[in-house]
A and B are shown apart, each in its own frame.
Chain A
Amino acid sequence: MKINTLKRHFRESFKSLGRNGWMMFASASAVTITLLLVGVFFVIILNMNKFASDIENDVEIRVHIDLAAKAADRERLESEIESLDAVNSVKFSSKQQELKELVKRMGDDFKLFQQDNPLYDVFIVKTKQPTDTPKVAAQIQKMDHVESVIYGKGKVEKLFHVLSICRNVGVVLIIALLLTAMFLISNTIKITIFARRKEIEIMKLVGATNWFIRWPFLLEGLWLGILGSILPIVLISFGYYSVYKIVEPKLQNNIIHMLDISPFIYGVDGLLLVLGVCIGIWGSSMSIRRYLKV
């Protein structure tokens, strides 16, 4: 393509944006709203994923060892647990250590138990896949010298279930929103094409190539996508920044944490821009194909 032609395509696409100002405003707004929703959803879902994996990684199985078990029995049990495929790590914690932990958490009143420690020696087992936890717990339960197994039965399964539903619903919603925005852009470009059908007819008549006719419309869609993505990028960046500043201090001692602002939010911004551009170009190429018949 010659440089003059390229300049002409840019000029034409800008002219057209100005000419159909309100229509352009409407479809850029559609992109804005869509991207805003997509962006907010995206941020929420990714953070929920983060929370989920934070929680998942914290899930552990506490194996209470039979009081009657001797050191040799304990070692045998440990190697037996370690031999399970799904097990990642096994850590021993004696009942003295357990009591110290308890006193740290609950206060000095529990020091009373130092005379007669009622706690068990414990193996803390972590699985490779958090979702394997119930299965592994059941296997350990059957082994010798195991008094009881604790892993938050029921709660863990429920958590995993809710998380996977949230992820799926989010993905479906995002796809639906994207399709809506594409539809709106494609309608706008359709109107531009309709308004310029005489021009297109003459272009074809005097021998303009199809790509020559297509370019300004593609660029127009591209501008719409970029224009529409500016506001969502700004709002989501500042929004996430403010929420992070408020929420994160409160989570200080918690196992869950929000995703760090950088590089996460730049990634989201980039994604929104790319999405805007794709929506714009895709929307306009749909219209061109259907209404230009070039």
Chain B
Amino acid sequence: MIELKDVYKKYPNGVMAVSGLNIKINQGEFVYIVGPSGAGKSTLVKLIYREEKPTSGDVIVNGVNLSKLRDKRIPYFRRQIGVVFQDFKLLPTLTVYENIAFALEVIEQEPSYIRSRVMEVLDQVGLKNKARMLPSELSGGEQQRVSIARSIVNMPKVVIADEPTGNLDPETSWDIMKILEDINVTGTTVVMATHNRDIVNTNKHRVIAIEGGKVVRDEQLGGYGYED
């Protein structure tokens, strides 16, 4: 469960990115975060995986109050969260397999477990046969699938995706959506910030619209609602 209570975020340069957010997302929900550029979507995403700390208010994720979380505990909190980005954030010198295994190695898992678990998630995103390839040898959609595989390899309760289809062509975007929805079906909460009107309007889920750092609309099975 994700809960934001009266959250304000002011950056050091004086920009008020988020002013008075109140959001509650239950376990297992699929939520779109929409809104114009600069509305505060990315800040919201960063607040959820504790890249940013709220200036005031509480952010509670999986029962952890992130406003009170000590810096030392952040890594352990992150292990329960999967994050997917527009630019994939894969390591170019590592193979697909190594990129995913990396996430398990750095949290000191057993090598035998790593091997089986990585192949499992590669199968899940349909890239089992490309395990030995480098990211540069893959298409954009495939790279994003690797990135999603890495985000779920820890079996997180929450997956946060910041514009996961932002760099992809429409057809590939649908593949990514399919994978994210499959993940959601297994009970994982998925929060997806997006600009993709077609996806939001076709694959109906809860929509939270943000403007000027505030929630302006929150509807179950809503539409994109912007004419960009």
**A residues within 8 Å of B by Cβ?**
1-2, 4-5, 8, 198-199, 201-210, 212
Contact = CB atoms under 8 A, between A and B. Distances in A.
Given A198-B91, A204-B78, A207-B79, 10 more contacts: A198-B89, A202-B91, A202-B102, A206-B103, A206-B107, A207-B106, A207-B107, A207-B154, A209-B75, A212-B108
Nearest to A213: B106
B78 A207 contact: yes
Interface of B: 49, 72, 75-79, 83, 89, 91, 102-103, 105-108, 110-111, 150, 154
Contacts of B108: 1-2, 4-5, 212
Contact of B106 (A1, A198, A203): A203
Contact of B75 (A1, A8, A202, A204): A204
29 contacts: A1-B108, A2-B108, A4-B108, A4-B111, A5-B108, A201-B89, A202-B91, A202-B102, A203-B102, A203-B106, A204-B78, A205-B49, A205-B89, A206-B78, A206-B79, A206-B102, A206-B103, A206-B106, A206-B150, A207-B75, A207-B76, A207-B78, A207-B79, A207-B106, A207-B107, A207-B154, A208-B106, A210-B75, A212-B106
Contacts of B78: 204-207
A198 B83 CA distance: 15
A152 B141 CA distance: 91
Contacts of A209: 75-76
A210 B107 CA distance: 11
A198 B90 CA distance: 9
A232 B105 CA distance: 38
A17 to B, nearest CB: 16
Contacts of A2: 108
A2 B106 CA distance: 11
A98 B6 CA distance: 101
A138 B83 CA distance: 85
Contacts of A208: 75, 106-107
Nearest to A199: B91
Contacts of A201: 89
Contacts of A198: 89, 91
A207 B111 CA distance: 17
Contacts of B77: 207
B109 to A, nearest CB: 9
The 6 closest A-B pairs by CB, nearest first: A208-B106, A207-B79, A207-B78, A206-B103, A207-B75, A209-B75
Nearest to A203: B106
B151 to A, nearest CB: 8
A210 B71 CA distance: 10
A27 to B, nearest CB: 22
B226 to A, nearest CB: 29
A202 B82 CA distance: 11
Most chain B CB atoms below 10 A, which of A2, A4, A205: A205
Nearest to B82: A206
Nearest to B151: A206
Most chain B CB atoms below 10 A, which of A2, A198, A204, A207: A207
Nearest to A1: B108
Most chain B CB atoms below 10 A, which of A1, A4, A204, A208: A208
A255 B75 CA distance: 66
Nearest to B85: A205
Contacts of B102: 202-203, 206
B53 to A, nearest CB: 14
Contacts of B91: 198-199, 202
Contacts of B72: 210
Contacts of A199: 91
A198 B85 CA distance: 13
